[in-house]
């Protein structure tokens, strides 16, 4: 599956990108399938993120009960700790030509996130990802760990 980077617009020129007015980011639409609903959000493919993380509001909308689920913490930039509650869900992505769906352990955070993170655990562990900076695109191919359809 191939995904073009999305340009995150900037009000001022980005010096480190030659003065362009935006930053490209590998954003994909991902669906969290729950017992009450399927909730779709735009999420950042992040090979630097340990976990796949969504805000708790997505769990509520999908009907995922986080009561008594395993807990942990994620570390963000600056090593700021973020409490997480984990649940096993089904994730789904598509590039418009093909789709993939798989069960995954996902962390749900009480904080509002700019975008959910598709990190190693729960997502990128199941795909070989080729991030192409010059073409501003990413290609995902399932690997032998992929448990889905």
Domains, the chain, with CATH or none: 2-142 (2.40.70.10)
Check: pTM over 0.85? Answer yes or no: yes
SS (H, E, C) 38-95: EEEEEEEECCCCCECEEEHHHHHHHCCCCCCCCEEEEECHHHCEEEEEEEEEEEEEEC
Tell me, what's the pLDDT at 77? Answer: 67
Tell me, what's the pLDDT at 140? Answer: 98
- What is the C-alpha to C-alpha distance for residues 116 and 85, in angstroms, rounded to an integer? 14
Tell me, what's the pLDDT at 79? Answer: 73
Across all residues in the chain, what is the average pLDDT?
95
Tell me, what's the pLDDT at 147? Answer: 96
pLDDT digits (tens, 9 = 90+) for 52-110: 999 999 999 999 999 999 999 987 766 778 999 999 999 999 999 999 999 999 999 99
- What is the C-alpha to C-alpha distance for residues 14 and 22, in angstroms, rounded to an integer? 7
């Amino acid at each position: 599956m191939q995904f073009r980077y999305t340009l995150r617009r900037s009000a001022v020129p980005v010096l480190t990108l030659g003065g362009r007015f935006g930053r490209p980011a590998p954003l994909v639409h991902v669906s969290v399938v729950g017992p009450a609903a399927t909730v779709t959000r735009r999420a950042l493919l992040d090979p630097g993120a340990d976990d796949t993380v969504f805000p708790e509001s997505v769990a509520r909308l999908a009907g995922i009960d986080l009561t008594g689920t395993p807990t942990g913490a994620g570390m963000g930039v600056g090593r700021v700790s973020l409490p997480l509650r984990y649940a096993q869900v089904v994730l789904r992505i598509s590039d418009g030509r093909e789709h993939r769906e798989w069960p995954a352990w996902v962390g749900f955070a009480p904080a509002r996130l700019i975008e959910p993170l598709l990190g190693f655990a729960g997502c990128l562990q199941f795909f070989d990802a080729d991030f192409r900076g010059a073409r501003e695109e990413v290609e995902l191919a399932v690997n032998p760990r992929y448990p889905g359809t």
